[in-house]
A = this chain, B = another copy of it.
Amino acid sequence: MASWIPIPAESDFSLDNLPFGIFSSRHKNKPDPRPGVAIGDHVIDLGALSAVKIFQELAGVGATAMAVFSRTTLNEFAGLGKESHHKVRKALRSMLVAEPAGDYAFLRDAPDLREQTVVHRDDVVMHLPMEIGDYTDFYAGVHHASNVGSLFRDPKNPLPANYATLPIAYHGRASSVVVSGSPVQRPCGQILVPPAAGGDSQVVVGPSNKLDFELELGCFVCKPNDIGVPIKTGDAHNHIFGFVLLNDWSARDIQSYEYVPLGPFSGKNFTTSISPWIVLAEALDPFYAPIRVPPKKTFPYLEGAPNTMFDLNLEVDVELPGEAPTNITAVSSNNLMWSFPQMVAQHTLSGCPLRTGDLFGTGTISGASSDKEYGSLLELSKNGKNAVSLGIGSKRTFLQDGDTVTLKGYAIHPLTGGRVGFGECTGTIQPARSLE
């Protein structure tokens, strides 16, 4: 579907998408971060638009609710609830189609207002879209879990014993979640070095030599639950605001020494990158398909919602300094064994409260059909055994300083042909900081 704002054919931000983010202008006298919506190569400034009476009326959520667009995060907008997200997105869509009906033409037909509220994406800086309360990372990528289990545990029985029944997860670090484009400094930590001939293995302190990416999806919570009151799987959709790409950067050598018995810590908590535009849950509704590798049997508390996952094309590009990017992974998002409603239900079964702005990661997403579907270098290089060819004759087992990793994800709407995607989630490796 066409808009009066030009939308390039390859843009993730068609009229079928309209994702929300927090931006500031690069050049203008408006430095404050504020909410916006992406369309094609442009951003609609919701901060400015929310002061316009006709927009307040068309959005249909009440004039006072418009204050959510004067904030520097999307938490308050998320907190309005799913019906309000739908109304605002629908109004924006009606305003942005090529031929808006009646009042909806107010923006297209007002050059001054367009000048103030439609900004080119080249002229904006993106910020973290939400204030994140807690960040939880699941392990729902069944092929990834299986590949990792084969590398480190038992190739004949690679999945942990609890995997078949339980959507396992760990608490991640909220303070180190950063927006796409932020630098990724190589972390230092304690590392167990294998024995030299005749010697003992030894623990050293220094920069990670096994710095890796993890291809994941992120999911933001909108509606909170009270402590002690679990969310049912069938009601979980009311608590899900939208989705981003997520790169859970991992230092495999730090992680492997630290993780027994308390799980990943310093090997993960240095940086987690997310894409800046939150694709609202409803924008991905057209792309759901039955989960490819579902659990064999689920407990009743994990039932009540369709056993489905959206089917997006996820990609990972790695760009070495001075070279063109190389695509190293292309995989469907529908390789997660547990659905988002099941993750919500599992997280709250204990009574754990979710808050508006909480972030879930899915766990690394890998496919099963070829090693072009692996969502981490750990899997691609078999934990450093097989180097991956990249760029002009270069090879990598793990990431080197200066390497840039970019995650992408999109789907094509089956009826409209509109493309719905996340844009990019990117980060460049910076050298470790000296320990002196």
Which A residues contact B (CB, under 8 angstroms)? Answer: 133-134, 139, 160-162, 165-166, 168-176, 178, 183, 185, 187-190, 203, 205, 227-230, 251, 254, 257-267, 269-271, 299-301, 346-347, 349-355, 358, 430, 433, 435
Q: Which of B165, B173, B262 contacts A139 (CB 8 A)?
A: B262
CB distance from A79 to the nearest CB of B (A): 15
Contacts of A269 in B (CB 8 A): 171, 350, 352
Q: Is B433 in contact with A270, judged by CB distance below 8 angstroms?
A: no
Instruction: Show 22 residue pairs from A and B whose CB-CB distance is below 8 angstroms, ordered by the A residue.
Output: A139-B262, A161-B260, A166-B258, A168-B258, A168-B265, A169-B262, A169-B265, A170-B265, A175-B355, A176-B227, A176-B351, A188-B350, A189-B349, A205-B349, A227-B270, A228-B270, A263-B264, A266-B347, A266-B350, A270-B350, A271-B351, A351-B433
Q: Is A162 in contact with B350, judged by CB distance below 8 angstroms?
A: no
Q: Is B176 in contact with A353, judged by CB distance below 8 angstroms?
A: yes
- By CB atoms of chain B within 10 A, which of A185, A257, A265, A271 has the most? A265
Q: Is A187 in contact with B262, judged by CB distance below 8 angstroms?
A: no
Closest to A302 in B: B205
Q: Which of B161, B168, B205, B351 contacts A299 (CB 8 A)?
A: B205
Q: Is B433 in contact with A228, judged by CB distance below 8 angstroms?
A: yes
CB distance from A234 to the nearest CB of B (A): 13
Known: A251-B350, A299-B205, A301-B205. A160 touches B266 (CB 8 A): no
How long is the Cα–Cα vector from A354 to B347 in the complex, in angstroms?
Answer: 25
How long is the Cα–Cα vector from A280 to B299 in the complex, in angstroms?
Answer: 47
How long is the Cα–Cα vector from A258 to B271 in the complex, in angstroms?
Answer: 25
CB distance from A347 to the nearest CB of B (A): 8
- By CB atoms of chain B within 10 A, which of A172, A301, A430 has the most? A301
How long is the Cα–Cα vector from A59 to B166 in the complex, in angstroms?
Answer: 54
How long is the Cα–Cα vector from A189 to B351 in the complex, in angstroms?
Answer: 10
CB distance from A378 to the nearest CB of B (A): 14
CB distance from A17 to the nearest CB of B (A): 30
Contacts of A133 in B (CB 8 A): 174-175
Known: A262-B264, A433-B229. A190 touches B162 (CB 8 A): yes
Q: Is A263 in contact with B259, judged by CB distance below 8 angstroms?
A: yes
CB distance from A157 to the nearest CB of B (A): 13
How long is the Cα–Cα vector from A355 to B173 in the complex, in angstroms?
Answer: 11
Q: Is B190 in contact with A299, judged by CB distance below 8 angstroms?
A: yes
Q: Is A351 in contact with B171, judged by CB distance below 8 angstroms?
A: no
Contacts of A169 in B (CB 8 A): 262, 265
Known: A162-B190, A301-B435, A435-B301. A352 touches B176 (CB 8 A): yes
CB distance from A145 to the nearest CB of B (A): 9
Which 7 pairs across A and B sit closest by C-beta, in order of nearness? A263-B263, A187-B350, A171-B171, A170-B262, A185-B228, A270-B350, A266-B350
Q: Is B205 in contact with A175, judged by CB distance below 8 angstroms?
A: no
Q: Is B353 in contact with A175, judged by CB distance below 8 angstroms?
A: yes
How long is the Cα–Cα vector from A267 to B300 in the complex, in angstroms?
Answer: 20
Contacts of A134 in B (CB 8 A): 134, 173-175
